[in-house]
Amino acid sequence: MRVGELARRTGTTVRALRYYEAAGLVVPRRLSNGYREYAPVAVRQVAQIRELMALGLSVEETRPFVESIANGDDVCAAAIATFRSTVSSLQKRIGELTAQREALDARIDEAARSVVTGAPAGSGSGLTGRPMPELSFYATDGSLVDLRALGPGRSVIFVYPLTGRPGVDLPRGLLEIHGARGSTDQAIWLRDHHAEILAAGAARVYGLSAQSTGYQRELVHRLRLPYPLIPDPRLGLAAALGLPTLAAGDLTLYERLTLVVTGDRVEHVFHPIPDPASHALEVMRWLNRA
């Protein structure tokens, strides 16, 4: 068959076939008129080359396999040795890439911490004893929440960056920011342990983020949250109390922390929160000790 026919039957290009020919892998015979003619076995040879290259072998490393086909032999010892060598090379490369990924993850965490504004990590103790600002918000249940007059007993307000909607992309760069992930898991845990938090001594629980009411209502409905969420898209609470925020693309969001408010003052602050999913248990332990 001619080179065009071979290219069509193997789904490759004439240029690639010329390269295989130059490497001595798929060699046509010359006709008297100077044209190249490939034997039917060339189809199997080219298919073998392409298959092995897809597995990570170089063109040269496919030689033992291609020659076995040309000779009508089974896979030879040289071909097996090539496979083993390739596997060893892949394992080495995987180790190198894993180390590179871990180093990059460490750099991402280090860089992400530097974009956090407001209070530095671990500075939540500076909020203890501070009076709550005179701010009011309409929560997702339609109630007007006055942060200065939350009511008797302890109020737990967990502040989080944002949650996503199914099928809607999160803001660019959010997933690379240290501490930004896990809000949905945290909301679920607080939902599942809501009754226990109340039994431990909390009079009420709120969630607060910079997201709009629409996003928050969707989350309450989808997760069937037993507590209301408070929208603060203008970051009013951050401005009033100096709460830490973080940058995600062109957005400014709250950094994750939890306030325990008694009367009109901050009694306790959880910050930072390294494991959002299990944070509800941390809150319960504190309430039981307080």
Query: Residues 51, 59: contact at Cβ < 8 Å?
Result: no
**What three-state secondary structure class fits 290?**
coil
In the chain, the amino acid numbered 41 is V
Closest CA to 151 of 124, 132, 129: 132
Per-residue confidence (pLDDT) for residue 23, from 0 to 100: 86
According to DSSP, residue 229 is labeled: E
Q: Which helix (H) or strand (E) holds 36?
A: strand 36-37
CA-nearest of 262, 249, 266, 231 to 160 is 231
Q: pLDDT digit string (tens) for 22-38?
A: 888 888 888 888 788 88
- pLDDT of res. 187: 85
pLDDT band of residue 241 (cuts 50, 70, 90) is very high
User: Residue 251: what are its φ and ψ, rounded to 5°?
Assistant: -105, 150
- pTM passes above 0.75: no
Instruction: Respond yes or no on whether the N-terminal peptide bond of residue 272 is cis (omega within 30° of 0).
Output: yes
Higher pLDDT, 26 or 74: 26
Tokens representing 282 are 């941390």
CA distances from 10 to 61, 131, 255 (A): 20, 75, 56
- Cα 118-283-188 angle, rounded to 5 deg: 90
- What whole-number distance in Å separates Cα of residue 174 and Cα of residue 30? 61
Strands 202-209 and 229-231, bridge-based pairing: parallel
Dig out the tokens for 97 from the structure. 């890439």
Q: Model confidence over 148-188: pLDDT tens digits? A: 999 999 999 999 988 765 544 444 444 444 444 556 778 88
From residue 190, give the alpha-carbon distance in Å to each of 50, 166, 168, 171, 250. Answer: 53, 20, 23, 24, 29
pLDDT surpasses 80 at 199: yes
For residue 112, how many other CB atoms are within 10 A of its CB? 17
Q: Is the dihedral of CA 205, 211, 212, 215 positive or negative?
A: negative
What DSSP assignment string belongs to 145-189? Answer: EETT---SSEEEEEE-S----TT-PPPTTGGGSTT-S-HHHHHHH
- Please name the helix (run of DSSP H) or strand (run of DSSP E) that holds residue 261, with its range, or none: strand 257-262
